Amino acid sequence: MIGVGLVVAVLAIGGLWMLQDRLIYFPGPDPGPAPVPWVEHSVETEDGIELSAWVRVDDGAVDRPLVIVFPGNAGNRAGRVPLGNQLASAGYGVILGEYRGYGGNPGSPSEEGLIADAVAIGELARRLGLGEAGVVYFGESLGAAVAIGAASLEPPDALVLGSPFTSLVDVGRHHYPWLPIAALVRDRYASLERIERGEIDGVPALVIGGTEDRTVPIVQSRRIAESLGVPIHEVAGADHNDPSIRSSPSMVGVVSEFIDSVVGE
């Protein structure tokens, strides 16, 4: 029986190793044409992947900061339109980023690939002549780790980190404490290590977390804020995907106050 149990365990761990991308990334399909007033643009990454992203810059936002949204691990850019509309209503230009393998984009997602995608979307902003008043990376969950990784290569003027985790390994250990997560996970998204190494020193940051987050424990977001030396805005009672933490006017109000205080008019 011990031998059979060992074989089953080895097979299970081997399966997790081979299929882990399917357990991390949940890309949504091509969402179709951009809804008015959003406009679709494309940009090519350094490794030759052509990405689509949606851009909205209302008349009054041309001379205001630009917010680039890096979403979490599931869905597509259409799911971030409510957040984008709230940010646009607050007076900012907005780009809804999209990763390789997501929303009709070619390629397969990986940590290195998603960070390269984020850098390319920043280059799209410059190509369109946007962001002269300042660029803000707004990353949600996995997107917060992507934003931190991209900021270590191309620093923005500010970072907004929604439900950031310390590392994907730490998230895995929280949910599957009986598995050797550290030995299994290829894409580690070690945000806390990046911060502690000083890779994003000097970039102002806002951290947002939900007190009832069952996906990314609030203690991990608090550790990110502590390492950055900034306070955390906690949304009482909010779970990981609740509108109160993802697209509510009150949350966007906190974000707006932060952006205007560090980037300015």
pLDDT digits (tens, 9 = 90+) for 108-124: 999 999 999 999 999 99
Does 45 map to a domain? yes
Beta strands in 133-212 (DSSP E): 135-140, 158-162, 205-210
The least confident of 11-25, 171-185, 243-257 is 11-25
- Decide if 111 contacts 188 (C-beta within 8 A): yes
Does 168 map to a domain? yes
- The whole-number pLDDT of residue 11 equals 36
- Binned at pLDDT 50, 70 and 90, residue 176 comes out as confident
- H or E element at residue 251: helix 249-262
Q: What is the pLDDT of residues 41-71, one digit of tens each?
A: 999 999 999 999 999 999 999 999 999 999 9
Q: How many domains does the structure of the chain reveal?
A: 1
Does 82 map to a domain? yes
Q: Which of 220, 209, 226, 96 is nearest to 163 (CA)?
A: 209
Does 256 map to a domain? yes
Q: Which domain holds residue 222?
A: 31-262
Residue 16 has pLDDT above 70, yes or no: no
Residue 8 has pLDDT above 60, yes or no: no
Does 75 map to a domain? yes
Question: Higher model confidence: residue 196 or residue 60?
Answer: 196
Does 12 map to a domain? no
Give Dmax over CA atoms of the chain in angstroms: 70
What is the rounded CA–CA span in Å between residue 262 and residue 265? 9
Residue 250 has pLDDT above 90, yes or no: yes
Q: What is the pLDDT of residues 205-229, one digit of tens each?
A: 999 999 999 999 999 999 999 999 9
Q: What does the block give as tokens for 184? A: 């299994």
- Binned at pLDDT 50, 70 and 90, residue 75 comes out as very high
- The whole-number pLDDT of residue 151 equals 98
Does 56 map to a domain? yes
Q: At what angle do helices 81-89 and 249-262 cross, to 10 degrees?
A: 50
CATH number at residue 174: 3.40.50.1820
- H or E element at residue 235: strand 232-235
Residue with token string 């979307």: 121
Question: What phi, psi does 41 have (nearest 5°)?
Answer: -130, 160
Global pTM reads 0.92
